[in-house]
Structure 1
Amino acid sequence: MEWYLEAAVAGHMMAQYTIGLNYAAGHNFYTIFDRIFNSEEHVDNNYNTFDQGTGRGFGKKKEGKTEGYGMDDDAIALEWFTRAANQGMAEAQFKAAALIFHKENLGNINNTSPNTIQLNNFLMLAADRGHAIAQACVGRYCDIEFPKHDQGRAFDWYIKAAKQGHKVAQYKIGFFYETGHNAMLDESEAVRWYRKSAEQGHKEAQYKIGVFYQTGYGVGVNESKAVE
């Protein structure tokens, strides 16, 4: 830890991020934003708990926590994640946003408190840098929580996350195409995106595919496929 700290104080981005992970032991960051997706399944997407965009993992997932590594001090973790985030690391930006969301016990990301503004800034930075879960969260904000519900922007962010394999975003894209949200009615695209989500285990998407095979929506009637 001593050498990490020296490097971090000197401005080494990965060392700063690593110290943040060490102090944030106990968090599964990819389920912290679950509640903004309501009944839709959580955002963890089978990513390694601490590995997206870094090539490294620290601790292993066990009942939503890491095992066998580090301490638990969110304030110090946030300080170091923020330093790495300010140098442009998408994963640190996402984790800083997640810690703020957890610390403030927020039920949504739609208010104007200083901490929520900082949270949204970090989420947007991470999303702009290609972080799939951040993109899905920004899409959700535009879709549901944004005061004027900008579904065009929501689709743009969902599709970015969906193309990276984010199963909730894939489900949302399927829903947009099924219902014609944002004037995008397209049966074949609805089936395609629901199927991608269903294949990752999204229960509502699996149900939708079953219904489609039973009714013939976009696929043709196939009772045996429906009951699979």
Structure 2
Amino acid sequence: MYKDPKDSFYWYQKSAENGNKLAQFYLGKCYENGNGTEKDDFKAFECYDITAKNGNKFAQFKLGYFYYNGIGTQIDKEKSIVWYEKSAMQKCSNAQFYLGILYRNEKNDLKNAFYLAKKAAENGNKVAQFNLGYYYEKGEGIQKDINKAFKWYEKSAMQGYSGAQSSLGKLYKIEKNDLKKAFYWIEKAAKNGCRVAQLHLAYLYENGEGTQKDDEKATEWFETSAVQKCSNAQYVLGVIYRKEKNDLKKAFYWIDKAAKNGNKIAQTKFRVFL
């Protein structure tokens, strides 16, 4: 690999012109990301299209993604499915994951969504592992199984996926009443930027669950979550500023934010608090 992206682009282009299909794929990535050349979604699409038709599973995934999102081409959900399926058949975990999401959201086909999430999860995709845990927890596309939900949330959490860390912590609290483990995983997720975990961590500090009660840290985490547009955190923070700090200006600011972000309690009780 060349240190200068322009050199890489030059040689990928030369190699692609000589019929090297792998170089054609990497040329597409250069166009997609603007590495060594100007970003050009249309040229990226063309490169992926050529490589996908020659059987490259990663290009097939990219083509499916481009069709689904209308990148460098018109949105075409049916073509997106075709290319995701081709890639998924070659065990591309990203294609399996996205195809599963498509079956769930576009076709409401929970059985196929579960099947594909399982395939992607078994191939190591951390987001698919999280989704699989969710399906087992909620009983979507499969019989509810909390133990398997724990298993897959933990696999994803161990790979650093904050959504799984948050859900794992929640399960430890609700299903096993293990507040120390709940705190451990929720804190990890919060520090990894998950706004829902930041909200739950604030509650754990506020109630002294799994850790010492600390109202100052609770407020800090409510605010961290609120800044990330978690409407529940925005509402609670507004109440704290109104009732505990008697700061009406900040109370108004945060409850107004919560109401505008769709928080029903903030919308209905706005006048009561202010």
- Indicate the TM-score class for this superposition, using the shorter chain for normalisation: 0.5 to 0.7
Per the alignment, residue 143 of structure 1 pairs with 173
Does the 8 A contact of 1:97 with 1:118 survive in 2?
Answer: yes
Deviation at 1:2, TM superposition (A): 5.1
Q: Of 67, 84, 97, which aligns to 1:17?
A: 97
Deviation at 1:174, TM superposition (A): 1.4
Identity of aligned residues (%): 30
Deviation at 1:102, TM superposition (A): 4.5
* CA distance in 1: counterparts of 2:206 and 2:87, whole angstroms: 51
* Structure-2 change in CA distance of 1:122 and 1:226 (3 Å): same
* CA distance in 2: counterparts of 1:135 and 1:221, whole angstroms: 35
Show the 5 A alignment for 1:72-151: 72-104=108-140, 115-146=145-176, 149-151=177-179
Please identify, of 127-136 and 205-214, the stretch whose mean Cα deviation from structure 2 is larger. Answer: 205-214
SS at match of 1:24: helix
Higher relative helix content:
2
Please identify, of 174-183 and 155-164, the stretch whose mean Cα deviation from structure 2 is larger. Answer: 174-183
Deviation at 1:18, TM superposition (A): 3.5
TM-score normalized by structure 1?
0.63
* Structure-2 change in CA distance of 1:10 and 1:161 (3 Å): same
* CA distance in 2: counterparts of 1:76 and 1:212, whole angstroms: 45
Corresponding residue pairs, total: 173
Code of the aligned partner of 2:241? Y
TM-score normalized by structure 2?
0.53
SS at match of 1:184: coil
Deviation at 1:9, TM superposition (A): 3.0
RMSD: 2.9
Per the alignment, residue 156 of structure 1 pairs with 184
Deviation at 1:4, TM superposition (A): 4.2
Per the alignment, residue 225 of structure 1 pairs with 250
Deviation at 1:13, TM superposition (A): 2.2
SS at match of 1:88: coil
- Greater relative CO (CA pairs within 8 A, separation 6+): 1
Unaligned 5+ residue runs, structure 2? Answer: 1-80, 254-274
* Per-residue CA distance 1:116-142 (angstroms, 9 max, x = gap): 433332222112222222211111111
* CA distance in 2: counterparts of 1:14 and 1:84, whole angstroms: 7
* Per-residue CA distance 1:49-77 (angstroms, 9 max, x = gap): xxxxxxxxxxxxxxxxxxxxxx4432222
* CA distance in 2: counterparts of 1:13 and 1:104, whole angstroms: 20
Deviation at 1:101, TM superposition (A): 4.1
Unaligned 5+ residue runs, structure 1? Answer: 27-70, 107-112
Q: Decide which structure has the larger Cα Rg and report it.
A: 2
* Structure-2 change in CA distance of 1:12 and 1:213 (3 Å): closer
* Structure-2 change in CA distance of 1:179 and 1:86 (3 Å): same
SS at match of 2:160: coil
SS at match of 2:105: coil
